[in-house]
Amino acid sequence: MLLPAHCQKLQTMNLTLKTSIRTTLIGVAALIIALSAQAQGIGVGQRCPDVTIAHLINYPQKSARISDFKGKLLILDFWATTCAPCVAFMPQADSLQKSFGGKLVILPVDNETGALAGPLLERIHKRYHFLPASVVEDSLLGKLFPHNSIPHEVWIDGDGVVRAITGYEEVTAANITAMLAGQAPKMHQKKDTPHLHVDDTKPVLFGGQGVQVGPQNLLFCSMMTRYHDELPGFYAFDPNRITVVNNTILNMCKAVWGQGRTEFVDNRIIVTAEDSTAVDYPHSWFKRMDKWDEWKWNHLFCYELIVQDPALYPQKWELARQEVSKFLAPMGITCRMGKKRMKCWVLKRTSTIDKLHTSGGTPHTDRDLYHISLHNAAFDNSFWAPVQFYYAQASPLPLVNETSMTNEMIDMELECKMTDVASISQALAKYDLAFVQEERDLDVILIDQHKIK
């Protein structure tokens, strides 16, 4: 016979066991729902599973659940350290969160490691005096909300229902106010077609990566196609191959006439056109995703040239120019190389002392928008090419290197805004280097377009 105390203890144990089972079943149900959602993704109007958001940094807890944000507007902001618009959006996101008090949470989500994302967030803290929280090493949310371009914004209301999926340009005070009021603001919904996984070190259009075209073992083959919605946009080169995928005519000319050289960015492309939208996407439409969705189908193209005969390798660029010229002619577009005297940012030494010479040891390279750290790294490949082709590509003035350095091994530490040439120049002063504005005769790519009568 059980004593009352034992009965009470047994009842407590049963209650605890039932609660534990109930909690486990709820967790299993959420997991099953999440796994099901991963197969096709969660769309607008659907409820987000109450999944655990793991690997939080710069946040009060190391993890959270979707239900922790009940009653608030939660915007999942998918980003990466290499995405300049994503990083530039963070101060704006912080200001919006502060202006809406506890009603709004904009949570960055990154699938990169904390070791990669953390230092960049710390540099944002140093520059803008706030420390962004972020999910890192994400392996779940990206599958629940599949996308192929960032920034990617998922709006989840206080009841856990997905209300919108947009680009970052729609994250405005007006749209947030309307959403919090239970309204449906007019926003362009971002629709990303899932990309095929492709290896950009191998042929794509003829490479058997799900888009194989044409017979095998050709000595020479090429193809020009319209936009492929399943593929990302890029260009890549090998000794026997030129691949341009989902790019504008401007970028195609840049790749083929510029032969993949990093100095040919937009400031060395001169376009004379009656209708510039035939050549490139207008900058004034940059935040108009509705315009982009319509424009891309008629103005993005794919081109691939493969030369199997090694004797033809040196001729591949001229072959490509001839083929692309034939493609452009019916549109009234011509492309050619030329010379022009232009004002430039010229990188010069300010002394004869080499302050960049490496001390040797294990090579190391670390770069982001506000920082560059190089040890025993090649000057051209690790510093000059990334600055010229990536960070400072939007500079209105071309960049010219007159230091006589090419691939010398160097050590370098810079803290500056890598998209601002003047800021880079100021940081380079300690190495007796400086960017100065002077005129030079430069190779340029000339694109002319006239309407066909």
Token pair 């995405």: residue: 83
> What burial class does residue 33 get, using C-beta atoms within 10 Å of its C-beta: 0-12 exposed, 13-18 middle, 19+ buried?
middle
pLDDT at position 430 over 90: yes
The two three-digit tokens of residue 284, written as one number: 């004034």
pLDDT value of position 353: 95
Spans of all domains in the chain: 34-180, 220-332, 341-445
| Mean local confidence (pLDDT), 355-372 | 94
The predicted pLDDT at position 211 comes to 66
pLDDT at 344: 96
Q: Which residue has the higher pLDDT, 51 or 284?
A: 51
Per-residue pLDDT at 212:
56
Which residues are bridge partners to 153 per DSSP? 77, 166
Would you state the pLDDT for residue 294? Answer: 87
**Predicted confidence band at 206 (pLDDT cuts at 50, 70, 90)?**
low
Is the pLDDT at 314 greater than 60? The verdict is yes
Return d(Cα 121, Cα 119) in angstroms, integer: 5
Say if residue 429's pLDDT is above 80: yes
Q: What's the chain's average pLDDT?
A: 88
Range of lowest pLDDT (7-11, 256-260, 288-292, 400-404): 7-11
Contacts of 351 (CB under 8 A, 6+ apart): 432
- pLDDT of res. 290: 81
pLDDT of residue 30: 44
Distance of CA 418 to the CA centre of its chain: 16
- pLDDT tens sequence across 53-101: 999 999 999 999 999 999 999 999 999 999 999 999 999 999 999 999 8
Position 32 scores a pLDDT of 45
Secondary structure element (H or E) that encloses residue 293, with its range: helix 289-299
Q: Mind listing the pLDDT tens digit for each residue in 126-142? A: 999 999 999 999 999 99
Question: Which pLDDT score, from 0 to 100, does residue 120 have?
Answer: 96
Peptide bond into 396 cis (omega under 30): no
158-172 confidence digits (pLDDT tens) = 999 999 999 999 999
Model confidence at 376, pLDDT cuts 50, 70, 90, reads very high
pLDDT tens for each residue of 316-343: 999 999 999 999 999 999 999 999 999 9
Whether the per-residue pLDDT at 383 is higher than 90: the answer is yes
pLDDT in the model for residue 274: 81
Q: Where are the beta strands (DSSP E) in 283-417?
A: 301-307, 333-349, 364-368, 371-378, 399-401, 409-415
Q: Please say if the pLDDT value at position 288 is more than 90.
A: no
Taking only the tens place, the pLDDT of each residue in 21-30 is 444 444 444 4
* DSSP labels, 1-24: ---HHHHHHHHHHHHHHHHHHHHH
For the cut 60, the answer to whether the pLDDT of residue 217 exceeds it is no
Cα–Cα distance, 291 to 293 (Å, whole number): 6
pLDDT at 378: 96
pLDDT of residue 215: 53
> Which CATH code fits 34-180?
3.40.30.10
Query: Does 205 or 87 have the greater pLDDT score?
Result: 87
Average the pLDDT over 27-45 and give the result: 60
Which has more pLDDT, 29 or 394?
394
